[in-house]
Structure 1
Amino acid sequence: MNAVQTPAPIGEAAARKRLHVITWGCQMNVYDSGRMADVLAPLGYAPAAEPDGADMVILNTCHIRDKAAEKVFSELGRLRRLKEATGNRMILAVAGCVAQAEGAEILARAPYVDIVLGPQTYHRLPEMVAQASRAAGAVIETDFPPEEKFDHLPDSATPQGPTAFLTIQEGCDKFCSFCVVPYTRGAEASRPAGAILREARHLVAQGSREITLLGQNVNAWHGEAPGAATWGLGRLLRELAEIPGLTRLRYATSHPRDMDDDLVAAHRDIPSLMPFLHLPVQSGSDRVLAAMNRKHTADDYRRIIDRLRAARPDLALSSDFIVGHPGETDADHEATMALVRDVGFAQAYSFKYSPRPGTPAAGAPMQVAEDVKDSRLQALQALLREQQARFGAGCVGLDMPVLFTGPGRHPGQIVGRSPYLQPVHVSGGANLVGTESIVRIVASHPNSLAGTLVQERQIA
């Protein structure tokens, strides 16, 4: 298929079009929402803060959580009333992973939806909008197209601010038993290194000082590079670190099986690679990990953490945990608790297992009762909160660089990010936003830190 030719806006009518995007789910969905806005900007669509009266509303969906589709239909019911209030001139689109998985069902239950598009097709939005505007019937695009969508996207028109996301990898070949991602995002695909470096330079030119590289399995990235070479993530991080003005690098989300030696060494060698890593383990039980098709053991994970901490002693960790996977016993749950105690996490995300239609675990025997899942989750979260509080308390008294991202909740206050991704509030002027300064941490709160400026001279 040829590259989409986006028509230029015509006159004032085009310039007055208003676009509202509602985003649910992961950071990649946030990135995708921004790129959809970029694709539609040449058609005259400008961001609208509210859906009321908008010319187009996109609901960018996530399929990870329980009852995701029902939440979409509930939101669509609200949006239908807004669409009718515009005389049905509003174009209503459903994008993302629920659209990919439930496209036909969406149109059957909500025939007032104009466009249904999967996460691999949003570069085609201009032609979908043109078709929907002709009242030619609903448009559904949920196939995996033969062309690479990133080859057809314009440079981001809207600055993301001091911190930015950059998708470098999509899809998943791991086929964990509980996960829909391989079915909604497709096979693993890596963007070429040159395209990533170009977009990173563009983000820095727009004022971004920290970039988080995104992917369903971001450390599986192996991209085409200059000279017909193929780079891994470690090499890409080294190249990104050479971009002037880019002072911080992060990446998410990783898989333990893709944590190779060069990437571990990158944590040792690259000062701008922040000492905070999200590395999901899901369970501490080898039996459950095998049932999940994770293809690593709990001790494999422990050894990876040992290697990372040897390379970067100040590294702090985050992870994902699922309790109540089919067949999980009390002993399996205790193995997870033991792994958490052994490793120690500065932050973590933990959830009850919920069946995702079409995944192997959804039809597995020995489903765990909801009350058992509840009690296990409460115990795990109590331990994780204790570890997070202990990590935060350990930051008190330290001087650490903070990248300021915007105003705080109170007058005269600004907020920034610590190297460990904690929000840090200090008294300071708006002129510090977008810069990095040394802050002395004076207090720790459940989800943030408070500090005072030690060095007001801008580092970045």
Structure 2
Amino acid sequence: MKVYFETYGCALNKGDTYSMMSLLRERNHEIVETLEGADVVVINTCAVRMETEEKMKKRIRELSKTGKKLVIAGCLTGAQPGLVSSLSPSSSMIGPQSISDIVKVVESNERVISLDSKTPSILPRVFDGLISVIPIEDGCAGNCNFCITKLARRNLRSYPLRNIVETVKRMISQGAKEIELTGQDTAVYGLDMGGKVTLPDVVKEVASLEGDFMIRVGMMTPEMAMRHLDSILEAWENPKVYKFFHIPVQSGNDKVLREMNRKYTVDEFRAIVKEIRKKFRLVNITTDIIVGHPGEDDSAFEDTLNLMKELRFERIHIAMYSIRPNTRSSMLAQVPGPIKKERLKRAVSLYEELSREVHKEYLGRQMRVLALERGKDDTIIGRTINYIPVILSDAVLGNWYDVKIVDSSFFDLRGEIV
């Protein structure tokens, strides 16, 4: 059959899509680029925020009217199967921890619902461009009150180290220049296998492979990063590892962190950042912040703004809290909508101001940059050793360049090849 995929959400979802594509290709199904040319449509959904859910609902309704066989996969299916079924009663459904059943679902003449398969999935054997997304684990060890993803990915499952290394070898041989090791919380890797093998072990093993490539490690929660911080910093010393850390703080106020059921304090988060920056002179610490979570008063919000000013993150993903069904935070007293919107506006404005200041510090520097993706207007997007995007002209994908930084914006840098 000819199968078309639409993927929404995080890098882990992208990795799941590549795994499903790999399984289907091994059964001689064809992955097609357009909806019109497909016999089967697979939509891999995201449910992390209310507006994302509304977008998914709209798209599911649209795809249901095409007359093609529809498979609804991903976190919306895992977290709210009843809702998904009501949107498209005849469609097959596959949860994010059941992607190993994709062949059965696509090949069946009947409607199939698979929400929690016991069959382990394979790692991806395909990728697009020069960036290969490799899930190393699925699920988390936390229980955050605002999170719906934990309802979709209920079980912590780490992929065996041997499988990860063999998969990365295959991707490098196929031309991958960036290996993105991803997961719901990469720092919990191995916890379900007795904790004898951890995230730093994975990074060290992958970095020891031959080839010209870089490693980017996905999000890790502060409480889990603290458990292995010394060995994480040691593993990141390898020149093949981007000096990049995605560690979500979510709030700069301890009371709000308790309401969120986050298992660290603001001071503990500060200590993590301090240790990372002490170890690496040039580093990118990216974080997430939720504005307007229940329990956030004016003072707590100011604490978050002050933390942003103090730690001067290289990148911040800022989101306004939105109620997610069947979560504890949805049952707490809510911050009024207009106040949340005003706080979001202030936080984003401050972030843009701070980011412009941080990026201006790169002006005039000469940096080593790896060209990875196509940008707008025939430009190429490269990455510095700390994973800051640099816009280049007249670059060849896959090559390294010595670049002089000549301009900056709040989002990226502009470089001239030396």
Q: What secondary structure, in the 3-state scheme, does the structure 2 residue paired with 1:438 have?
A: strand
Counterparts in 2 of 1:342-421, with a 5 A limit?
Answer: 342-364=310-332, 366-411=333-378, 413-421=379-387
Shift of 1:29: 0.9
Residue 4 of structure 1 aligns with which residue?
A: none
Indicate yes or no: 2:261 matched with 1:293: yes
Residue 120 of structure 1 aligns with which residue?
A: 97
- Consecutive unaligned residues in structure 1, runs of 5 or more: 1-16, 84-89, 455-460
Taking structure 2 as the reference length, the TM-score comes to 0.94
Q: Report the Cα distance in structure 2 between the residues aligned to 1:369 and 1:305, rounded to whole angstroms.
A: 32
Distance 1:118 1:23, change over 3 A: same
Residue 26 of structure 1 aligns with which residue?
A: 10
Q: Would you identify which runs of 4 or more consecutive aligned residues in structure 1 move more than 6 Å?
A: none
Shift of 1:81: 2.8
Indicate yes or no: 2:224 matched with 1:258: yes
Shift of 1:32: 1.1
Whichever residue aligns with residue 289 of structure 2, its letter is F
Distance 1:263 1:63, change over 3 A: farther
Q: Report the Cα distance in structure 2 between the residues aligned to 1:269 and 1:208, rounded to whole angstroms.
A: 21
Residue 425 of structure 1 aligns with which residue?
A: 391
Q: Report the Cα distance in structure 1 between the residues aligned to 2:64 and 2:187, rounded to whole angstroms.
A: 41
Residue pair 2:100, 2:120 contacting (<8 A) in 1 also: no
Q: What secondary structure, in the 3-state scheme, does the structure 2 residue paired with 1:348 have?
A: strand
Shift of 1:224: 9.2
Q: Report the Cα distance in structure 2 between the residues aligned to 1:198 and 1:267, rounded to whole angstroms.
A: 19
Q: Report the Cα distance in structure 2 between the residues aligned to 1:426 and 1:208, rounded to whole angstroms.
A: 20
Residue 307 of structure 2 aligns with which residue?
A: 339
Cα RMSD of the aligned pairs, angstroms, is: 2.0
Higher CA-based Rg? 1
Shift of 1:267: 5.5
Residue 119 of structure 2 aligns with which residue?
A: 147
Counterparts in 2 of 1:32-431, with a 5 A limit?
Answer: 32-83=16-67, 90-113=68-91, 115-131=92-108, 134=109, 136=110, 138-142=111-115, 144-150=116-122, 156=125, 158-222=126-190, 230-259=196-225, 260-266=228-234, 269-364=237-332, 366-411=333-378, 413-429=379-395
Q: Report the Cα distance in structure 1 between the residues aligned to 2:189 and 2:61, rounded to whole angstroms.
A: 39
Residue 407 of structure 2 aligns with which residue?
A: 443
Q: 1:360-413 CA deviation, whole Å, 9 max, x = no partner? A: 11111x2100111111111111111112111221112111121112444334x4
Q: Report the Cα distance in structure 2 between the residues aligned to 1:369 and 1:202, rounded to whole angstroms.
A: 51
Residue pair 1:267, 1:275 contacting (<8 A) in 2 also: no
Q: Report the Cα distance in structure 1 between the residues aligned to 2:129 and 2:347, rounded to whole angstroms.
A: 35
Whichever residue aligns with residue 3 of structure 2, its letter is L
Distance 1:208 1:20, change over 3 A: same
Residue pair 1:103, 1:140 contacting (<8 A) in 2 also: no
Shift of 1:161: 3.0
- Consecutive unaligned residues in structure 2, runs of 5 or more: none
Shift of 1:263: 3.5
Shift of 1:253: 0.9
Whichever residue aligns with residue 64 of structure 2, its letter is R
Q: Report the Cα distance in structure 1 between the residues aligned to 2:191 and 2:14, rounded to whole angstroms.
A: 23
Q: Report the Cα distance in structure 1 between the residues aligned to 2:58 and 2:129, rounded to whole angstroms.
A: 32
Shift of 1:18: 2.3
Q: What secondary structure, in the 3-state scheme, does the structure 1 residue paired with 2:196 have?
A: strand
Residue 10 of structure 1 aligns with which residue?
A: none
Shift of 1:76: 2.1
Shift of 1:208: 1.0
Q: What secondary structure, in the 3-state scheme, does the structure 2 residue paired with 1:94 have?
A: strand
Q: Report the Cα distance in structure 2 between the residues aligned to 1:450 and 1:69, rounded to whole angstroms.
A: 35
Shift of 1:234: 1.4
Distance 1:128 1:407, change over 3 A: closer
Q: Report the Cα distance in structure 1 between the residues aligned to 2:192 and 2:322, rounded to whole angstroms.
A: 37
Q: Report the Cα distance in structure 1 between the residues aligned to 2:48 and 2:192, rounded to whole angstroms.
A: 30
Shift of 1:247: 3.1
Shift of 1:25: 0.7
Residue 7 of structure 1 aligns with which residue?
A: none
Q: 1:66-94 CA deviation, whole Å, 9 max, x = no partner? A: 144433231122213322xxxxxx22110
Whichever residue aligns with residue 262 of structure 2, its letter is R
Q: Report the Cα distance in structure 2 between the residues aligned to 1:344 and 1:95, rounded to whole angstroms.
A: 37
Whichever residue aligns with residue 384 of structure 1, its letter is Y
Whichever residue aligns with residue 57 of structure 1, its letter is V
| Greater displacement, 228-237 / 368-377 | 228-237
Q: What secondary structure, in the 3-state scheme, does the structure 2 residue paired with 1:452 have?
A: strand
Q: What secondary structure, in the 3-state scheme, does the structure 1 residue paired with 2:322 have?
A: coil
Distance 1:410 1:283, change over 3 A: same
Distance 1:378 1:308, change over 3 A: same
Q: What secondary structure, in the 3-state scheme, does the structure 1 residue paired with 2:162 have?
A: helix
Q: 1:335-374 CA deviation, whole Å, 9 max, x = no partner? A: 111111111111110111111111111111x210011111
Residue 417 of structure 2 aligns with which residue?
A: 453
| Greater displacement, 276-285 / 30-39 | 30-39
